[in-house]
A and B are shown apart, each in its own frame.
Chain A
């Protein structure tokens, strides 16, 4: 025993009071870690509650489908046994269960909600459920005939197929319609016909417009940032304030200003007519269309490009350019080969920032976008506040999130996230 103890003592370094050094070190580090944890805790909780949980909720809502199964809880299990390919309606027992469910749901005022839910899949369900709910109190066997008497849709096989499809607790139906797909006769997924496809077109438009806006912001911001970084501190601060001015006026005011400028009776058109470039009866349409959205959004997002670029450029010593020149490079070569590569981190940060803001932008396209300039977020908003189809809104939102994450991943692979410099 004694020998073992001395052996251990020889191996393990101990502090003065005899605790092993490692234990003591871990203890002191743990205290620091706890302190650090306490410092980030408020922000962590805030982000958890206001950001993380809503996103999880959104992902959940995009597949959640409890309502049919809960309200029609007698019908749904029986429906599972029904063979939709048999070409026959469900049997009498199922219609009896449906009558029971309907009576209960009408009393609890939940039948309307099921109707609304199924109405997303096929218009007409809302009316059907309302009508049936009103008349179900006086229903008598045989139930099948009685239901068909209330509304002959109850005799339609498609209606039953749809209810069976959407009776599970989770559904991909929202994603199906968000991707411009639909269900065929035997519940197979098919593309919608040309005229009914909207969302893919919108996603595509949102994507290319965001990329275009990002590109234009970069083109406009790069020279400005360069100028700012070469000026004296006093002048560059003044100019920076001008660049940041858009931040200090309300978004609505700015957007209205663009309307005043760009509309057909607006200043720019007046000017062009006065100069004679356009005819008075042929004024340019620059607002309430794609042009309006692009112009206004570039204006609003420009500072998000200028700031990261400026902060990176400010740290590039002027001696780099001088060194390049003294080594024999002309001004252009020196700029392209020595200066620009050193701004890559700023370009990356600015582009990611502007792109992510643009892809989810909502107010400006809503105000000045018209038909051709609305983006996917406007449709998400529409489904959240007008059509109240939250599931679809959540599905669209989740797809947008996935697109952004994929782009982010690609960016990381190509440029590297840790190369990004935000300030």
Chain B
């Protein structure tokens, strides 16, 4: 079966259960493109590592098929899959030097000595650790160990690289630098990468596409922009970026616009993912899309609100207001002269466009 680039890696109806009672991964369908950087993002326990382990061959899928480059790999043992992996604790072999660690995958492939030496020095230069070949992993800093781990997963030119929270052990600043470096290596080599994290900013900065996991199901698979601008459901809207939610009853839904009654007031919204008229819907609204004190008539939704709290953040002011019975509604007000009128306890009018207010699925029954 010849593979096409769009379906380089395929999960076909994959399910996984560890104990025969709970499905940790529930019917996963996922196609990964050749050369893409795909991130699995989701809260703890959502099944990301499990998926990665099934791909690497350390866990077997309870049901379904996993295909790599046109070949089903369910029954291929891990060492024959040719998949590089970066572990969270790096898993560098402490009894070998950096160079020996890097040579290991080449030696087990019976590669000739000169070739091994060349590849090792090339990859060491790639991760800017040229002089560190003779050190033991324990003699390197966290970031350097991280780079060796990445280099080791690359050196044997695998079909695919898997990274399971590789930056989890690093401090914030180093993490940001490493994000950049890993992304840079990916852009240079074009190797297909699957990256697992539960840090959304990491996912947004690094990925071509992000698969948002929750509870063993992919909630949405899309580019970072699409995930932020056009979330498909309430979970994604809430999980990615800052978000305001208003819960109401669907009154009317026609093509292109719907009316949802929140706390007695009808709001115009963009129907994205709603049920029948009369059901509940979650309205999602990004804080920067809300206008404070809009010109009357400038937008379809203008409601009364009350200022609760102001947090001064330099270029903008984070304002918490109570509106339509929700008192955790956040608005980002640009730092201009207009903010003078905002005082905690004072009433204010806020407005937004119907296209910025996405009507999504009903909130999970609480």
Question: Which residues of A are in contact with B by a Cβ distance under 8 Å?
Answer: 317, 319-320, 322-331, 333-334, 337-338, 341-342, 344
Check if B91 sits within 8 Å of A320, measured CB to CB: yes
- Complex CA gap A268/B81 in Å reads 50
Interface hit among B25-33, B103-111, B212-220 = B103-111
Contact of B79 among A317, A329, A344 (CB under 8 A): A329
Q: How far is the CB of A230 from chain B (nearest CB, A)?
A: 14
Q: Which 10 pairs of residues, A with B, have the shortest CB-CB distance?
A: A323-B91, A327-B105, A319-B91, A326-B85, A341-B95, A325-B78, A329-B108, A319-B87, A328-B108, A325-B79
List of B residues within 8 angstroms of A323 by Cβ: 85, 87, 91-93
Q: Does B156 touch A at the CB level, under 8 Å? A: yes
Check if B58 sits within 8 Å of A327, measured CB to CB: no
Check if A342 sits within 8 Å of B156, measured CB to CB: no
We find that the number of chain B residues with CB closer than 8 angstroms to chain A is: 27
Question: Which residues of B are in contact with A by a Cβ distance under 8 Å?
Answer: 56-58, 77-85, 87-89, 91-95, 104-105, 108-109, 152-153, 156
With A317-B89, A319-B87, A319-B89 as given contacts, are A324 and B95 in contact (CB-CB < 8 Å)?
no
Check if A342 sits within 8 Å of B104, measured CB to CB: no
Q: Is the interface of B mostly helix, strand, loop or mixed?
A: loop
List of A residues within 8 angstroms of B79 by Cβ: 325-331, 334
The 29 sampled A-B contact pairs (Cβ below 8 Å) are: A317-B89, A319-B87, A319-B91, A320-B91, A322-B58, A322-B87, A322-B91, A323-B85, A323-B87, A325-B57, A326-B56, A326-B57, A326-B78, A326-B83, A326-B84, A326-B85, A327-B84, A327-B104, A327-B152, A327-B156, A328-B105, A328-B109, A328-B156, A329-B104, A329-B108, A334-B79, A338-B93, A341-B95, A342-B95
Check if B78 sits within 8 Å of A320, measured CB to CB: no
- Complex CA gap A280/B133 in Å reads 68
Closest to A334 in B: B79
Check if A342 sits within 8 Å of B87, measured CB to CB: no
List of A residues within 8 angstroms of B89 by Cβ: 317, 319
List of B residues within 8 angstroms of A320 by Cβ: 91, 93
List of A residues within 8 angstroms of B56 by Cβ: 322, 326
- Complex CA gap A324/B56 in Å reads 12
Q: How far is the CB of B183 from chain A (nearest CB, A)?
A: 22
Q: Is the interface of A mostly helix, strand, loop or mixed?
A: helix
Closest to A330 in B: B79
Q: How far is the CB of A262 from chain B (nearest CB, A)?
A: 42
Most chain A CB inside 10 Å of its own CB: which residue of B58, B80, B91, B109: B91
List of B residues within 8 angstroms of A329 by Cβ: 79, 104-105, 108
A-B contacts besides A328-B105, A334-B79, A342-B95, 20 pairs, CB < 8 Å: A317-B89, A322-B56, A322-B87, A325-B57, A325-B58, A325-B77, A325-B78, A325-B79, A326-B78, A326-B81, A326-B83, A326-B84, A326-B85, A327-B156, A328-B108, A329-B79, A329-B104, A329-B108, A342-B93, A342-B94
Closest to A338 in B: B93
- Complex CA gap A333/B79 in Å reads 11
List of A residues within 8 angstroms of B81 by Cβ: 326
List of A residues within 8 angstroms of B95 by Cβ: 341-342, 344
With A322-B58, A333-B108, A337-B104 as given contacts, are A328 and B82 in contact (CB-CB < 8 Å)?
yes
- Complex CA gap A317/B83 in Å reads 20
Most chain B CB inside 10 Å of its own CB: which residue of A317, A323, A333, A341: A323
List of B residues within 8 angstroms of A327 by Cβ: 79, 84, 104-105, 108, 152-153, 156
List of B residues within 8 angstroms of A328 by Cβ: 79-80, 82, 105, 108-109, 156
- Complex CA gap A344/B95 in Å reads 10
Most chain B CB inside 10 Å of its own CB: which residue of A319, A328, A329: A328
Q: How far is the CB of B353 from chain A (nearest CB, A)?
A: 50
- Complex CA gap A283/B299 in Å reads 104
Most chain A CB inside 10 Å of its own CB: which residue of B56, B83, B108: B108
Q: How far is the CB of B88 from chain A (nearest CB, A)?
A: 8
List of B residues within 8 angstroms of A337 by Cβ: 104, 108
- Complex CA gap A323/B77 in Å reads 13
- Complex CA gap A378/B10 in Å reads 71
List of B residues within 8 angstroms of A324 by Cβ: 93, 104
Q: How far is the CB of A414 from chain B (nearest CB, A)?
A: 16
Most chain A CB inside 10 Å of its own CB: which residue of B78, B87, B89, B94: B78
Q: How far is the CB of B115 from chain A (nearest CB, A)?
A: 15
Closest to A344 in B: B95
- Complex CA gap A337/B101 in Å reads 11
Closest to A326 in B: B85
- Complex CA gap A340/B149 in Å reads 21
- Complex CA gap A174/B93 in Å reads 53
Q: How far is the CB of B10 from chain A (nearest CB, A)?
A: 20
- Complex CA gap A116/B91 in Å reads 69
List of B residues within 8 angstroms of A333 by Cβ: 108
Q: How far is the CB of B78 from chain A (nearest CB, A)?
A: 4
